[in-house]
Amino acid sequence: MVKPMEKKPIIEIKALRKSFGDNHVLEGFNMQLYEGENLVIMGKSGSGKSVMIKCLIGLEEPDSGSITVMGKNINQLEQAELDELRTEIGFLFQGSALYDSMSVRENLEFPLRRHTKKFGIIEDTTPMVMEALENVGLAHAIDLMPSELSGGMKRRIALARTLILQPKIILYDEPTTGLDPITSKEIILLMMSIQEKYNTSAIIITHDVDCARVIANRMILLIDNINYAEGTFETLSTSEDPKIKAFFK
Amino acid sequence: MDNNFKVVDSLKNFLIEIGELSYFTGRFFKELFNPPFEFKEFWRQCYNMGNRSLLLVSVTGFIIGLVFTLQSRPTLEEFGAVSWMPSMVSISIIREIGPIITALICAGRIGSGIGAELGSMRVTEQIDAMEVSGTNPYKYLVVTRILATTVMLPILVFFGDAIAILGSALVENIKGNVSFLLYFNNVFDSLQFSDVIPTTFKTFFFGFAIGLVGCYKGYNCKKGTAGVGLAANSAVVYTSMLLFIIDFIAVFVTNIFYG
């Protein structure tokens, strides 16, 4: 599972600050993600994990600090450049965020048809759609509507939609939240197989200690609005610091 | 003292809302002319809005035509002016009743639908998902919908007017033994371009307002699922108010040119 890490940051966040009114969510957050690495970020609810990941993809604008993704400072990019960069970053939303007015096929075709620069004009999208669905084991669901899918299936289809753009980085926002333990395990195994197959780098935001144990090459604990602690699962889980210990009880 | 603060707060919120709506409108015109153009989604929205509102507009128009004629008949009979019925009904319906009633129906049917749809897309992160996949959600969701309501409303109004006049003709045919041919001859004799052109122009603005407010409320929906209901509800309330304001301005301007 653990791949040898090449020490080349593909994402670098420096002194990130973000506030909503008087609520200071991030106060100098730093982070690097290296190629081929699975980085797990854990923190309490409302600690700013999702805000950080949204700043990273350009959905939220940080108050200060710099975010460099594949050598590009995302806060200085034009909209067209940002859209192009976004094709290299997949985002798996906590609630799957499938377009509920579209079938599974249309959900997967949607990003594909809009990135002619990366893929050219594709006459028949079926082989690419099928490949993405086969990767998540749901080829038979191609003509279903999102309302006909279970929670676990939705999460898998969302992952297939993320994979279809062949991203280099995948951001997982609480990928196992709301799923039963068996489905959670299936999703974790799927994430690992994808990382192995496509050599993607990933940031995984989770509360799930079991998920972190299995998937993390490295972990960051977001406590008191900063990256409070950093290390492997083994080092952090044996820490004597009460704030860190609280996560692994 | 508290009441004073509440008034100031409400006024502040109102001005902020106006500012944000103006920005939203400006962005529409900016994005409208920037490629890529989402023709497929635009046609899909036109079909959805037109096709799904057709029955409602037809039934309402037909009933308005019937009721309007039945209610006016006794008074016109009293003055011996029943022969004025076709011109009175057609001018009233085409100039005012048809457009405003159809627009109000569409505000309820289409505006609230847009508010709820975009609102639920916002709270379930579908709009964010669209954005991170490198698609401009404003262009795909907002521009197409506003354009579709702007194009479809005049067509729906035209259709509703025709059905309402047909309803009126039916009453006259049954109650006053007036043939359909005679009734419609009278209608077309009494109508002038000055009745039709300003009102058609007005309906484009009605359609634009319905799409704009519905999209604005839905796209900026907050506060979870409760916000979706609020977005749908406020889309109807604000649009209805806006329709009457546009109507007043349109009548005022029409009177300047044709008065």
Q: Taking CB atoms and an 8 Å limit, are B126 and A98 in contact across chains?
A: yes
Which pLDDT score, from 0 to 100, does residue A179 have? 83
CA dist list (Å): A108 to A146, A195, A202: 12, 20, 21
Please check the confidence at residue B147 and state whether its pLDDT lies above 90: yes
pLDDT at A52 over 50: yes
Mean pLDDT of chain A: 88
Which chain B residues have a beta carbon less than 8 Å from that of A161? 133
- Asked if residue A90 lies in contact with residue A163, where contact means CB atoms within 8 angstroms, the answer is yes
> Residues B205, B246: contact at Cβ < 8 Å?
yes
On whether both B115 and B22 belong to a single domain, the answer is: no
pLDDT tens digits along B94-142: 999 999 999 999 999 999 999 999 999 999 999 999 998 888 899 999 9
The pLDDT of B65-83, averaged and rounded, is 91
Q: Look at residue A37 and tell me whether its pLDDT is greater than 60.
A: yes
Residues B133 and B191 grouped into a single domain: yes
CB contact under 8 A, B126 and A59: no
Distance CA A236, CA A49 (A): 18
ipTM associated with this complex = 0.86
- Is B1 in the same domain as B50? no
Q: Average model confidence (pLDDT) for chain B?
A: 92
Give the angle B247-B159-B258 at the CA atoms, nearest 5°: 40
Share of chain A above pLDDT 70, in %: 95
Question: Are residues B246 and B161 both part of a single domain?
Answer: yes
B187-206 confidence digits (pLDDT tens) = 999 988 888 999 999 999 99
Interface check for A94 against chain B (CB to CB < 8 A): the answer is yes
Supply angle C-alpha B139, B142, B144, rounded to 5. 75
Whether B255 has a pLDDT exceeding 80, the answer reads yes
pLDDT of residue A171: 94
- Alpha-carbon gap: B52 to the closest alpha carbon of chain A (Å): 16
Would the pLDDT of A2 be above 50?
A: no
Cβ atoms within 10 Å of A93's Cβ, excluding its own: 22
Candidates A95, A115, A161; nearest CB to B125: A95
- The average pLDDT across B230-250 equals 93
- Chain A neighbors of B136, CB-CB under 8 A: 79, 83
% of chain B surpassing 90 pLDDT: 75
Distances (CA, A) of B238 to A16, A154, B128, B216: 39, 36, 26, 11
Could you write out the DSSP letters of every residue in A32-67? EEETT-EEEEEE-TTSSHHHHHHHHHTSS--SEEEE
In a shared domain, residues B85 and B171: yes
Provide the residue range defining the domain that includes B7: 1-34
* Residues B16, B114 share a domain: no
pLDDT over 80 (residue A7): no
Cβ of B124 within 8 Å of Cβ of A91? The answer is no
C-alpha to C-alpha distances, A60 to A17, A74, A115, B27, B68, nearest whole angstrom? 11, 11, 23, 19, 55
Least confident of A184-188, B20-24, B25-29: A184-188
**pLDDT at residue number A6:** 52
What's the pLDDT at A157? 93
Reported confidence tier of residue A116, pLDDT bands at 50, 70, 90: low
Contact present, A227 and A247 (Cβ < 8 Å): no
Does B129 sit within 8 Å of A114, measured CB to CB?
A: no
Tell me, yes or no, whether B55 and B9 share the same domain: no
With an 8 Å Cβ cutoff, is B189 touching chain A?
A: no
User: B36: cis peptide before it, omega within 30°?
Assistant: yes
Contacts of A99 in chain B (CB under 8 A): 121, 126, 129-130
Q: Are B88 and B23 members of one domain?
A: no
Residue A99: what pLDDT?
Answer: 94
Give the closest of A54, A86, A94 to B133, CB-based. A86
pLDDT at A4 over 50: no
> How much is the average pLDDT of A91-100?
91
- Residues B30 and B133 both lie in one domain: no
pLDDT in tens, B1-22: 567 778 888 889 889 989 999 9
Q: What residue type is A84 in one-letter code? A: E
Alpha carbon of residue A76 to chain centroid: 22
Check whether residue B131 and residue B227 sit in a common domain. yes
A-chain CB neighbours of B117 within 8 Å are 101
Total tally of structural domains belonging to chain B: 2
Q: Tens digits of per-residue pLDDT, A149-182?
A: 998 899 999 999 988 888 999 999 988 888 888 8
SS3 labels along A147-175: HHCCHHHHHHHHHHHHHCCCCCEEEEECC
Contact B195/A at CB under 8 A: no
Q: What pLDDT sits at residue A149?
A: 93
CA B223 to chain CA centroid, nearest Å:
28
User: Computed over its alpha carbons, how large is the radius of gyration of chain B?
Assistant: 21
Provide the pLDDT for residue A112.
84
Q: Answer whether A91 sits within 8 Å of B129, measured CB to CB.
A: yes
Q: Does A95 touch chain B (CB under 8 A)?
A: yes
Using pLDDT thresholds of 50, 70 and 90, give the confidence band for residue B259. Answer: low
For residue A111, pLDDT over 50 is answered with: yes
Do both B28 and B56 map to the same domain? no
pLDDT score recorded for residue A3: 47
Phi, psi torsion values for B178, nearest 5 degrees: -90, 130
**For residue B145, which residues of chain A lie inside 8 Å, CB to CB?**
none
Task: Give pLDDT, residue B5.
Answer: 78
**Chain B partners of A205 at a C-beta cutoff of 8 Å?**
none
What pTM does this model have?
A: 0.87
Q: Is B129 on the interface with A (CB under 8 A)?
A: yes
C-alpha A54/C-alpha A34 separation (Å) is 19
- Answer yes or no: do B44 and B135 share one domain: yes
